[in-house]
Amino acid sequence: MPKYVIERNIPGAGKLSKSDLVGVSQKSCSVLAEMGPAIQWIHSYVTDDKIYCVYYAANEDLVRQHAQKGGFPADSVARVSAVIEPSTAEG
């Protein structure tokens, strides 16, 4: 299944409390449960004013549907074409 990176502009995201993050995660998981196995949340990175999420999804439309149903922004959705890491340098 393709992997996507979603950029969500959320001013003050880095100041969200643990309780806030739990609530957002619960909302996301409940929407995903309704949508079925064609979309899966892998993890997210919270920065000062953005959250970057990594998902597996059959297509970009499912990623955008999840955002709409959950009330989350999806300012940028990009399909991952490759993953590189330090071991990639070893050829």
- Cβ(9)–Cβ(75) below 8 Å: yes
pLDDT > 90 in the chain, percent:
99
pTM of the model: 0.93
Kindly report, residue by residue over 10-19, the tens digit of the pLDDT: 999 999 999 9
Total structural domains within the chain: 1
- Range of the structural domain that residue 75 is part of: 3-90
The span from the CA of 16 to the CA of 33, in Å, is 24
The span from the CA of 18 to the CA of 39, in Å, is 25
Q: What is the 3-state secondary structure (H, E, C) of 56-67?
A: EECCHHHHHHHH
Q: How many CA atoms lie within 13 A of 67 on its CB side?
A: 23
Report the pLDDT value the prediction gives residue 71, as an integer from 0 to 100. Answer: 96
The CATH number assigned to the domain holding 34 equals 3.30.70.3090
Over residues 34-38, the mean pLDDT reads 97
Instruction: Band the pLDDT of 91: cuts 50, 70, 90.
Output: confident
Over residues 58-68, the mean pLDDT reads 98
Over residues 79-86, the mean pLDDT reads 96
